[in-house]
Structure 1
Amino acid sequence: MRVRLLTTTATAVLLSAVVAAPAVGADARQRVGPARAAGGTLGTESLVYRAGATRAVPCPRAAAPAVSRPPRPSPPPVVPEDRVVGGPELDTAGLAVPAGVPAPPKITATSWLVADLDTGQVLGGCGPHEYATPASVQKLLLAATMLPRLDPKQVVTVTAADMRIEPGSSAVGLVEGGRYSVETVWLGLLLNSGNEAANVLARLGGGADGAAGGVRAMNEYARRLGALQTHAVTPSGLDGRGQFTSAYDLALIARVCFADPTFRRYALTELTRIPAQPAKRTKGFQIQNENQLIYRYPGALGGKTGFTDLARHTYVGAAERDGRRLVVTLLGGEPQPKRGWEQGAALLDWGFALPRSASVGRLVEPGELSATPTATPSPPAAPGQARPAAASGSVGGGASGFWAAAGLAGAAAVLLLAGLVWRRRAARRQAP
């Protein structure tokens, strides 16, 4: 009887692990049908895609010319808990908008989100929790992480390691051995998307571990913000294996940036000068902000552009109208028929036209998820290493968690049975 009881207990542990594990094989990113024509009114029911649904409501898509791009890297495993951060209506590969509102404009971005910077309300989105590669909008995570750490008046010397960036990628024109104020480096990062500037700032904020420590700090801060689908490998957004983000995560990061008055001042700076370096025999030169939104959109607060062959065009922009501040995030777009900032502007117009009460979710507050008793933060991931699939650290979160639970339960059952068999044989040997 005792043997039966113990065996049943071990089996129950194994079965509970199997039942608790989510259906990881279910693909939440299925293809969707043709887009609804822009300009109409969406249905009277909330357009929501939930786990287990057969299809998503299609996002309005603008036709874009075919382009050649590298193969898309495999995204991390789907973590159901990460896809409902901000509310269950955001768990969709398609469109999530309030009931009865005008359809959003047709754009080329594969995922996007519009949110209120002050209230945190999410006004709408397309695939808000779909994994995508960030390109240079990742520099916003660098800014959110490092702006509070670095003294803008500090003068720094650029090293050879800082200058190691992908040939042909964006650079502001810093020179090895040159000496610049941290503020100048920030302006080079945010106005001209300088990748060498990103290396300098990550190194300065990374402590003894240099730029690697800076990237690690970025990932730690992303988790604190609740950006659980974000993992940085490079400080600049240059492509790196295992580097991903989502439209929702970018909105969390942008919200922190635009709450910082120093960032807002940098983001709205139109022109600045990179000083001469007499010791290196280089002249000073002027740079201009590349974000066209600040010149052409009334009430613009700034933002960030991005592009790599893999990520395609990415964009983050914010604006204020009638005391209301909105942010838009775009991933995987093409510049035709409209450029990234123009697509962002069209979505901002759409958002400003919605009632202030319109919402399909919210941006979580910094520290909110890590403060939840059941959500234990994962340990920091080393640069180049993907974040563990289960952000909460629970055993059942993802394929690896499932097999870990099943393996532990199975091992426990085997050990219990082996012990009982050994004791029975020992008892027989000792019997008269």
Structure 2
Amino acid sequence: MRTRMTRRARRPRSLAATLVAGLLGAAALTLSPTLADAQPTGTTTPFTTPNTDSCPNKTAPPPAIDASEVPGPGETGPDPLPVPASPVGGDRLGGCGLVLPDKAPPVPAEISATAWTIADLDTGRVLAAKDPHGRYRPASTIKVLLATVALRALDLNKVVVGTQEDANADGTRVGIGPGGRYTNKQLMQALLMCSGNDAAHAVAAQLGGDRATVAKMNELAKRLRALDTRAATPSGLDGPGMSTSAYDLALLFREAMTIPAFAEIVHTEQVDFPGYPADPKIPDDKDHPGFPIANDNRLLFDYDGDLGGKTGYTDDARQTFVTAAARGGHRLVVTLLKADVLPIRPPEQAARLLDYGFALPRDASVGTLPGDTGTTANPGVTLASPPPHPNSDTTATPAERHGSWGTIAIIAGLVLVIGLGIAAWSLRGRTRS
């Protein structure tokens, strides 16, 4: 699995280079999200969305490209999960290609996700999908299932002491250290906002260890009729038998959103995370101070009405993503599995699918999530709502909440001129030396 650390060493830059790069980067990100995410052009092969009409993943995810799913010594891998005789959610959801309501417009272009689902969080209606029950690897989106189990079992105010085993967790880590003191709420923030596998380890330890936690996760998935889903690890690292579907991921996220703490945490943009003390066994080691952590879900910042979500990535799973948003009294969830960053990044793909879903007729449907016959006025489940953003006008547009575009453009222009001036002065100084 590709490892991403919250804090990593970087090669030092000159003052001028640092200022110019930072200012140019900030201007690009602030003024033009499209520019900031621009992809390389000039590819020789036109992009096409992966074709799944032949049901290539009906029983199991695509073959692994590494050894992550090789069983351990003396162990055998599990058989694929049984395929239900009737598709969960309705017959139409048994289709492996595009599954669209009658007279639906063409789906958005440039969607690289091999499978996706759009569903109504309140009523449980599935609005549109592609290979909804095809089986894929979830990567860290399976942390939604872990969080659902943990939030119903653990005291969020309990303080947990970090261990070296937590700190040694494979893959993405938020920065838990041995001897650090963390409330379970802080561990859940690290788990859901930053996808910390060290937090997943600390949570699983309280649930009886990895094996017992995985059993609890799979028991809940089966009870919810997420029958394409099998966790192999608490964190989402690939392992023998790991599986989910775009349909199941929507179902699991909807279940999690009934928990107020989950809805609050995935909607949180940034929080402070504790540090940990110096290790007396390491000469000259010093206390490690706390630090801020930010939410990995970019749509929380970029998409008006986003309620939160969860990102994921492994080499075998590729890009995975689930997010929800509210507009016009409706709340939709979008899931993406086996996506790539080209031709546009997964958050942009999800944003296009959300726009598509909100534009469909209010009664559009190709199936349902299990056990739901509700309407928006009388939903089948009670969803938690995230709290209003602190010190913000919840009716304002993203541009209004983050400042006037004209003012930002003027400021960006000024700092750019100053930065280029510093760069020129620095270059002249080096030429002289």
Distance 1:134 1:55, change over 3 A: closer
User: Would you say the 8 A contact 1:75–1:131 is kept in 2?
Assistant: no
Q: CA deviation at 1:212?
A: 1.8
The residue aligned with 2:233 is: 234
Say what the alpha-carbon RMSD is for the aligned residues.
2.5
Q: Deviations over 1:327-360 (max 9, x none)?
A: 0010000011211111111101000001111000
Pairs aligned (count): 302
After TM superposition, the structure 1 = structure 2 runs for residues 156-235 of structure 1, keeping only pairs within 5 Å, are 156-166=160-170, 169-206=171-208, 210-235=209-234
Query: Larger C-alpha radius of gyration, 1 or 2?
Result: 1
> Aligned equivalents of 2:97 and 2:86: distance in 1?
13
- The one-letter code of the counterpart of 1:329 is T
- Partner AA of 1:241 in structure 2: P
Q: Deviations over 1:340-399 (max 9, x none)?
A: 111111101000001111000000039xxxxxxxxxxxxxxxxxxxxxxxxxxxxxxxxx
- Taking every aligned residue pair, what percent have the same amino acid on both sides? 47
Structure 1 residue 94 and structure 2 residue 97: aligned? Answer: yes
Q: For the residues of structure 1 that align with 2:101 and 2:48, how far apart are their CA atoms?
A: 17
**Would the alpha carbon gap of residues 284 and 110 (structure 1) be closer, same or farther in structure 2, given more than 3 Å must change?**
same
1:120 equivalent in alignment to 2:124: yes
Taking a change above 3 Å as real, the CA distance of residues 55 and 334 of structure 1, as seen in their structure-2 partners, is closer
Instruction: State the Cα distance separating 1:35 from its structure 2 match.
Output: 6.5
The residue aligned with 1:335 is 341
1:55 to partner: Cα distance: 5.3
TM-score where L is the length of structure 2? 0.66
Q: 2:361 aligned with 1:359, yes or no?
A: no
Q: Is the 8 A contact 2:176 2:276 kept in 1?
A: no
With the length of structure 1 as denominator, give the TM-score of the two structures. 0.66
Report what 1:27 is aligned to: none
User: Per-residue displacement from partner, 1:271-317 (whole Å, max 9, x unpaired)?
Assistant: 11111323552111111111101001111000001001110000000
C-alpha distance 75-87 of structure 1, shift in aligned 2 (>3 A): farther
Instruction: Give the whole-Å Cα distance in 2 for the aligned partners of 1:76 and 1:97.
Output: 32
Q: Give the AA of the match of 1:148.
A: R
Pairs within 5 Å for 1:3-402: 69-70=65-66, 77=80, 79-81=82-84, 84-106=87-109, 107-166=111-170, 169-206=171-208, 210-278=209-277, 280=279, 281-365=287-371
Cα distance change of structure 1 residues 176 and 84 upon mapping to structure 2, 3 Å threshold? same
Q: Secondary structure at the match of 2:198?
A: helix
1:407-428 alpha-carbon deviations (Å, 9 max, x no partner): xxxxxxxxxxxxxxxxxxxxxx
Deviation string, structure 1 residues 36-84 (Cα, Å, up to 9, x no partner): 9xxxxxxxxxxxx9xxxx957xxxxxxxxxxx95489799547442660
Q: How big is each residue's C-alpha offset from its partner over 1:211-249, in whole Å with a ceiling of 9 and x where there is no partner?
A: 321111001001011111111111010111111111111
Alignment check: 8 A CA contact 1:312 1:333 kept: yes
2: CA distance, partners of 1:342 / 1:232: 27
Partners of 2:305 and 2:127 lie apart in 1 by 19
In structure 2, do the counterparts of structure 1 residues 70 and 103 end up closer, same or farther at CA, with 3 Å as the change threshold? farther
Letter in 2 for 1:199: H
Contact in 2 for aligned 1:85/1:364 (Cα 8 Å): yes
Contact preservation (8 Å) 1:82, 1:228: no
Return structure 1 stretches of 4+ with deviation > 3 angstroms: 68-80
Q: CA deviation at 1:123?
A: 0.4
User: What is the distance in 1 between the residues matched to 2:289 and 2:212?
Assistant: 32
Unaligned runs of 5+ in 2: 1-46, 56-63, 70-76, 280-286, 373-433
Asked if structure 2 preserves the Cα contact closer than 8 Å seen for 1:316 and 1:327, the reply is yes
Gaps of 5+ in 1: 1-33, 37-48, 57-67, 367-432
